């Protein structure tokens, strides 16, 4: 459990009274709790992970598992985990943690700033002995999340080494839906994708993306605008992204959910993952002393007849 005095000190240094506080979260882990006129939200130092965003007048936008483990060394199931510097299993080391090591690492709080009616939080992590065990690069990784009427995310890598680094990245966003089989994702018609449930065979999307079975796809596109239509909750979630050449769509379905100890057997029906990313053959190369930034913005709109 995080030392309470450390949390108090972080709040003294960074908190904004009445708008953003550093408090003890689940499992004693420190989090930033946001309550502003435009949005409420939460972001944990564990993995620099956003776990909640509720624009004013709207329901929760992010899914969070009721079975999530809130412990060092374990990823939080739901919200927006950060996958870095590899995606899925590490190709040359089956014992390496899935989706990289930063989502289970305690990050450092860099700043909490009020920007107009929004609250911007910046957290960072850097290479050290624990990261070099898995990946030899010298780096600094910053995650900036701005909570307002929109949720804006930026992931920025600085290569502090003397050689080029190559990595994969994803903002593994769990969107909350009323029922995943009724929701539809617009904007990927005719886009090629790699189907991880079928040996990563390349296929072509026809029409909207609907979830009718286990789904794990990497769409090969920098298409900036997508819309997740949710008739059950009578809203649509608009997703835009920058410097992202792939979009991952994932849902574990029935058997996949049962195989995950930190996900309830029926919780797969409430989540629709749409991820800004650069994965597989679209990994990023960053030269010595250079930076790379990927960003995503989420916005919610009501559907006709909705009060949202």
Task: Identify whether 85 is preceded by a cis peptide bond (ω within 30 of 0).
Answer: yes
74: tokens are 């374990």
Summarize pLDDT for 125-143 with one digit per residue, the tens: 999 999 999 999 999 999 9
For residue 224, pLDDT beyond 90: no
Q: State the average pLDDT over residues 100-105.
A: 97
For residue 2, pLDDT beyond 90: no
Q: State the average pLDDT over residues 272-286.
A: 97
Which residues are 166's β-sheet partners?
285
Statement: the pTM of the whole predicted model exceeds 0.85: yes
In angstroms, the CA 58 to CA 285 distance is 39
105: tokens are 């690492």
From its phi and psi, is residue 93 left (phi > 0), alpha (psi between -120 and 50) or beta? beta
pLDDT at 203: 98
pLDDT at 136: 96
pLDDT at 241: 96
pLDDT at 222: 82
For residue 158, pLDDT beyond 80: yes
Summarize pLDDT for 15-57 with one digit per residue, the tens: 999 999 999 999 999 999 999 999 999 999 999 999 999 999 9
DSSP secondary-structure letter at 76? -
Q: Please identify which residue in the block is written with the tokens 């839906």.
A: 177
pLDDT at 308: 44
Mean of all residue pLDDT scores within the chain? 96
Out of 86-90, 108-112, 213-217, 302-306, least confident range: 302-306
CATH architecture of 4-302: Distorted Sandwich (2.70)
For residue 282, how many other CB atoms are within 10 A of its CB?
Answer: 16
Summarize pLDDT for 56-67 with one digit per residue, the tens: 999 999 999 999
For residue 3, pLDDT beyond 90: no
Out of 9-13, 138-142, 207-211, 219-223, least confident range: 219-223
Q: Which residues contact 39 (CB under 8 A, 6 or more apart)?
A: 53, 54, 55, 56, 118, 119, 147, 148, 149, 151
Nearest to 205 by CA among 220, 189, 216: 189
């Amino acid at each position: 459990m995080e030392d309470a005095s450390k949390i108090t000190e972080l709040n003294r240094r960074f908190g904004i009274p009445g708008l953003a506080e550093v408090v003890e979260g689940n499992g004693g882990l420190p989090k930033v709790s946001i309550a502003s006129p435009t949005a409420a939200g939460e972001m944990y130092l564990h993995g620099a992970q956003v776990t909640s965003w509720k624009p004013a007048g709207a329901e929760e936008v992010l899914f969070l598992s009721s079975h999530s483990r809130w412990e060092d060394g374990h990823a939080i199931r739901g919200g927006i985990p950060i996958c870095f510097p590899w995606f899925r299993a590490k190709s040359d080391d089956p014992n390496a943690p899935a989706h990289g090591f930063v989502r289970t690492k305690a990050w450092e709080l860099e700043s909490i700033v009020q920007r107009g009616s929004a609250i911007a939080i910046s957290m960072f992590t850097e290479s050290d002995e624990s990261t070099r065990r898995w990946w030899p690069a010298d780096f600094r990784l910053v995650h900036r999340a701005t909570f307002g009427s929109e949720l804006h995310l930026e992931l920025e890598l600085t290569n502090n080494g003397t050689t080029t680094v190559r990595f994969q990245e994803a903002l593994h966003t769990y969107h909350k839906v009323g029922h995943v089989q009724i929701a539809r994702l617009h904007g990927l018609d005719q886009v090629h994708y790699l189907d991880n449930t079928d040996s990563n065979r390349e296929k072509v999307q026809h029409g909207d993306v609907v979830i009718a079975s286990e789904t794990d796809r990497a769409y090969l596109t920098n298409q900036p605008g997508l819309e997740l239509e949710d008739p059950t909750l009578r809203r649509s979630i608009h997703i835009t992204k920058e410097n992202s050449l792939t979009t991952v769509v994932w849902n574990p379905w029935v058997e996949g959910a049962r195989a995950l100890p930190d996900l309830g057997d029926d919780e797969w029906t409430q989540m629709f993952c749409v991820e800004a990313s650069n994965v597989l053959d679209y990994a990023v190369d960053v030269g010595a002393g250079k930076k790379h930034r990927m960003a995503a913005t989420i916005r919610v709109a009501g559907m006709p007849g909705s009060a949202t």
